[in-house]
């Protein structure tokens, strides 16, 4: 046995501050010493390990053993004395400061979370992550006091999700549907929820009454289809007698994915899983037909969705235009915008789950007679504040724009499709571009691209015509979608030389687990409207996505907007969809395909993945033809599986960069009443320390440089190239990045196309043309300073000037364009920016209007991924 093992075996446990005992772990001592090293100089893992060994020796020599257990304070005191005796006085000083700061943070965490003792997640999570959890996700009592720890929250979610797996166990589930049981027997227990609160368990995890409600409803749904082999009382007996305790491992698996910040489901799942509301989905689409009864039904359904934590997308194009005759009253129609105002008001007064206002997507298609009014409606402050708005584009408008000789485009009546008037497509797109230049709205939704590979259209006998509030999730009326995001920055392996490589095997494992996780959500969801329940189960649509892309690239030392960066992102996207679809097929084999699968184009060998059709087969990383054969043989469990959604709040909890977005700023100044300090990207901070560059002076330079390293003389060129921010990247490269994900993602991408404030409306128009040419399903542009101000404090004289040019990847895309109009427009816009011109960041004003402040904490909002987000409290204008 090695000397260190002999030493460690003498001390088996330590006494925690609470008085309880936990297993002794020498690695924690080594880690604390290493952090002290890192705070004062370059970290040295080997020396930290050696000193940790000496600490253990001194503990043993001091009489501590298996029977006499040292306390945490004993160990910390011994670390201090060991460092001083070893001649490491500076390190000892750093360790004392580190210990003091840890104590302060620990006390602040306990106060924030209303805890007497730190739970495992609270110990590991950053204070800012916990602030977001405390403000929105943790359960509270009637006095608004937090009543659960972060650990308990993740366990609450994991238990509910595991109920989905448990019911498909082969002892219980009959896929063939030949086992008649009585669902009414199960539903009779809905009146006994309180009696079963905490009485049943999956291993060591107890089910609360809302978990038990999901057991009842999931069982009843399967029993109605003849798919439960056992009666409900027998199921309860099996739970009570621990016959299903093996699913404890599955609970732990789901818990670990979330607690380790590798994966997080959308916000409603964490808010409501195992709670009274029980509504777990973020995305919904409702119909808006041209009948008052239907309009009021949709308004009522929207209120229920907002109350339960979701956001709503509605296409208002079927409502007759303003001024059209209403035959039943001989009056005139008020138009779509007036009905949007009704939903806006409902959104204002109904908070999501009592915690935040809902979000909306309002869509009007380009052919609607009111489209011109709709386009400019949100350029005025205070109008439709709870809405994102987008214009829906179809093939006819696009052909009129890029192929027509004079650009003539006909607007038609929603009532009977008769021509109402003619407009010029060029003038309309210019109007849209100018409005977006001024206010970041409207966005464009390319319905022709959305429906190009829509395998579900055959079953629904209609195209997709609406999306969720941030535009990345297309849905049919009354469909919902539950989302979740994998933290790519966590999925790396450290090489012997200290550099990182991506862990592709672990990525596959996480994709498969999270696909199953999201599929389970459909079964244990407590939908707010019956039609939503039915439509969601018919398609079983899920949206697995990613976050932390920028941080991953920082760790791998790969520039975001480089050929290598684009190639890696493309492979990440392809793997995400391939493995999630393959896992969905595996679920179909054991549980059954989604109910409408046979009526779709899947049996014909079609799949909803553009890259399969549009990328040369030799460039594919996976055997797509083999996967299609499996789908034709076994079906697939979910109509679509992947979406890259906004992750503003989730990224704060996971402590990583947002979605697939580049970082907005690497450092920025935060001013509080007691002074000022800097928020910094942790990966950049570590690299600065490794290279001896970390100090307040350099952080201030970065903050005044619009959060960018670009052009700072002290920063090596390689670091400037790797650690790029959103404003370091040309707007055309933002589109290329979005397109390499869109090639392989089934649904769409939440992405903001950042533009400097001095671009023109012609540049915005060129971005639209390039976006469609690249196959995007939608586009949201944000010109710096046009609407919401960034969460950056910069002095008034700190305007930063540097050149941003499109990369070769953009120029290659333009060179391949075949439509002369598109090529000329895009080339002209890019040629301007390829000259040696300065891009000047507009200094934000000190005083912001109320509509540019967070409604919760009144701090400034940042606009990213198509919606506004507050980095202080986690408020988001979107629902995911």
**Which active-site residues does the annotation give?**
468, 470, 472
Report the DSSP pairing between strands 13-15 and 480-487.
unpaired
For 288-308, the DSSP string reads: --SSHHHHHHHHHHHHHHHHH
Q: How many CB atoms lie within 10 A of CB 670?
A: 16
The position carrying tokens 């000496």 is 54
DSSP line for 563-590:
HHHHHHHHHHHHHHHHHHHHHHHHHHHH
Query: Under a CB-based contact definition with an 8 Å cutoff, are residues 811 and 772 in contact?
Result: no
Residue with tokens 């198509």: 866
Q: Which of 651, 725, 731 is nearest to 488 (CA)?
A: 651
Q: If phi over 0 gives left and psi between -120 and 50 gives alpha, with beta otherwise, what is residue 155?
A: alpha
**β pairing state of 839-840 and 801-802:** antiparallel
Q: Are 7 and 60 in contact (CB under 8 A)?
A: yes
Give the number of C-alpha atoms closer than 13 A to the C-alpha of residue 539, restricted to the C-beta side.
27
* CB 842 within 8 Å of CB 823: no
Report which secondary-structure segment, H or E, holds 66: none
Residue 779's beta-bridge partner residues? 444
Q: Tokens at residue 189, please?
A: 């227990």
Residues 727, 804, 563: CA angle, nearest 5 degrees: 90
**Strands 360-365 and 387-393, bridge-based pairing:** parallel
> Got the DSSP string for 419-452?
EEEEEEHHHHHHHHHHHHHHHS--EEEEHHHHTT
Q: Which of 578, 588, 591, 575 is nearest to 633 (CA)?
A: 588
CB 563 within 8 A of CB 809: yes
Q: Is the peptide bond before 442 cis (omega within 30 degrees of 0)?
A: yes
Q: Which of 545, 554, 544, 543 is nearest to 489 (CA)?
A: 554
The most distant pair of C-alpha atoms in the chain lies apart, rounded to whole Å, by 97
Residues 490, 262 contacting (CB under 8 angstroms): yes
Distance CA 512, CA 124 (A): 26
Helix (H, G, I), strand (E, B) or coil at 266: coil
Tell me the two tokens of residue 678.
Answer: 């800097």
DSSP string for 123-156: HHS-HHHHHHHHHHTS-B-TTS-B-S-HHHHHHH
User: What does residue 315 show for φ and ψ, rounded to 5 degrees?
Assistant: -95, 115
Spatial neighbors of 512 by CB under 8 A, at least 6 apart, are: 579, 580, 582, 583
CA 146 and chain centroid, separation: 25
Q: Are 138 and 272 in contact (CB under 8 A)?
A: no
Q: Which among 479, 459, 450 is positioned nearest to 601, based on CA atoms?
A: 459
Q: Which two tokens stand for residue 398?
A: 């696009």
Among all chains, which residue has been given the structure tokens 């999270």?
Answer: 514
Tell me the angle at which helices 26-40 and 45-61 cross, rounded to the nearest 10 degrees: 130
Copy the structure tokens of residue 643: 């979406």
Among 329, 299, 331, 333, residue whose Cα is nearest residue 319: 333
């Amino acid at each position: 046995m090695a000397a260190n093992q002999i030493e460690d075996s003498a001390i088996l446990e330590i006494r925690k501050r609470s008085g309880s005992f936990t297993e002794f772990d020498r690695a924690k001592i080594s880690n604390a010493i290493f952090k002290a090293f890192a705070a004062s100089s370059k970290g040295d893992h080997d020396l930290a390990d050696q000193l940790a060994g000496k600490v253990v020796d001194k503990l043993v020599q001091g009489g501590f053993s298996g029977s006499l257990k040292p306390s945490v304070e004993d160990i910390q005191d011994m670390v201090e004395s060991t460092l001083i005796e070893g001649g490491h006085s500076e390190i000892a000083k750093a360790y004392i400061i580190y210990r003091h700061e840890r104590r302060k943070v620990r006390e602040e965490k306990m106060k924030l979370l209303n805890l007497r003792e730190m739970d495992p997640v609270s110990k590991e999570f950053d204070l800012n992550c916990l602030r977001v959890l405390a403000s929105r996700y943790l359960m509270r009592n009637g006095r608004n006091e937090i009543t659960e720890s972060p650990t308990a929250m993740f366990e609450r979610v994991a238990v509910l999700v595991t109920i989905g797996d448990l019911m498909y166990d082969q002892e219980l589930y009959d896929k063939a549907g030949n086992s008649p049981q009585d669902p009414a027997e199960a539903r009779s227990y809905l009146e006994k929820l309180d009696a079963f609160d905490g009485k049943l368990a999956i291993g060591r995890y107890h089910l609360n009454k809302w978990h038990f409600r999901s057991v009842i409803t999931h069982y009843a749904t399967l029993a109605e289809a003849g798919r439960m082999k056992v009666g409900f009382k027998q199921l309860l007996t099996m739970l009570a007698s621990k016959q299903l305790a093996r699913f404890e491992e599955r609970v732990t698996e789901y818990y670990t994915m979330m607690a380790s910040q590798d994966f997080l489901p959308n916000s409603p799942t964490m808010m409501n899983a195992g709670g009274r509301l029980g509504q777990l989905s973020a995305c919904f689409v409702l119909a808006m037909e041209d009948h008052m009864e239907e309009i009021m039904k949709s308004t009522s359904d929207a209120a229920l969705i907002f109350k339960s934590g979701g956001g709503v997308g509605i296409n208002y194009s079927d409502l007759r235009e303003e001024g059209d005759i209403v035959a039943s009253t001989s009056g005139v129609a008020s138009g779509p915008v007036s009905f949007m105002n009704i939903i806006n008001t409902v959104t204002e007064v109904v908070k999501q789950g009592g915690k935040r206002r809902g979000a909306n997507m309002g869509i009007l298609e380009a052919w609607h007679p009111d489209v011109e009014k709709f386009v400019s409606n949100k350029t005025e402050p205070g109008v439709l504040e709870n809405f994102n708005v987008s214009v829906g584009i179809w093939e006819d408008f696009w052909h009129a724009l890029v192929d027509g000789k004079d650009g003539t485009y006909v607007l038609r009546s929603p009532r009977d499709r008769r021509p109402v008037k003619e407009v010029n497509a060029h003038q309309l797109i210019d109007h849209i571009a100018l409005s977006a230049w001024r206010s970041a709205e409207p966005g464009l939704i390319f319905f022709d691209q959305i429906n190009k590979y829509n395998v579900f259209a055959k079953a629904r006998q209609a195209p997709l015509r609406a999306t969720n509030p941030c535009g990345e999730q297309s849905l049919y009326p009354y469909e919902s979608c539950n989302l979740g995001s994998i933290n790519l920055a966590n999925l790396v392996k450290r090489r012997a030389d200290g550099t990182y490589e991506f862990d592709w095997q672990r990525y596959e494992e996480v994709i498969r687990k999270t696909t199953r996780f999201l599929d389970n959500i459909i079964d244990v969801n407590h939908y707010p409207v019956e039609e939503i329940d039915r439509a969601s189960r018919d398609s079983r649509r899920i949206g697995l996505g990613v976050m932390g892309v920028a941080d991953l690239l920082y760790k791998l030392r790969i520039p975001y907007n480089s050929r290598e960066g684009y190639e890696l992102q493309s492979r990440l996207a392809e793997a995400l969809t391939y493995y999630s679809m393959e896992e969905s097929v595996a679920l179909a084999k054991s549980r059954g395909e989604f109910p409408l699968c046979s009526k779709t184009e899947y049996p014909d060998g079609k799949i909803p993945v553009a890259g399969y059709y549009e990328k040369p087969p030799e460039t594919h990383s996976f055997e797509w033809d083999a996967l299609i054969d499996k789908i034709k043989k076994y079906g697939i469990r979910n109509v679509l599986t992947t979406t890259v959604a906004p992750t503003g709040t989730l990224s704060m909890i996971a402590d990583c960069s947002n979605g697939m977005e580049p970082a907005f700023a690497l450092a920025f100044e935060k001013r509080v009443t007691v002074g000022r300090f800097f928020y910094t990207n942790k990966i950049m901070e570590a690299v600065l320390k490794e290279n001896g560059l970390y100090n307040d002076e350099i952080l201030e330079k970065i903050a005044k440089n619009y959060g960018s390293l670009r052009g700072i003389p002290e920063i090596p060129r390689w670091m400037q190239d790797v650690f790029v921010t959103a404003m370091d990247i040309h707007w055309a490269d933002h589109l290329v990045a979005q397109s390499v994900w869109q090639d392989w993602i089934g649904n769409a991408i939440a992405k903001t196309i950042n533009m400097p404030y001095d671009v023109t409306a012609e540049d915005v128009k060129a971005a639209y043309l390039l976006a469609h040419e690249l196959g995007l399903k939608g586009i949201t542009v944000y010109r710096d300073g046009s609407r919401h101000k960034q969460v950056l404090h910069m002095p008034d004289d700190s305007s930063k000037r540097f050149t941003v040019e499109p990369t070769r990847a953009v120029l290659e895309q333009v060179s391949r364009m075949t439509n002369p109009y598109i090529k000329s427009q895009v080339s002209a816009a890019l040629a301007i920016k390829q000259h040696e011109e300065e891009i000047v960041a507009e200094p934000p004003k000190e005083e912001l209007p109320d509509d540019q402040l967070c409604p919760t904490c009144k701090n400034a909002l940042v606009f990213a991924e198509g919606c506004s987000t507050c980095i202080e409290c986690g408020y988001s204008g979107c629902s995911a």
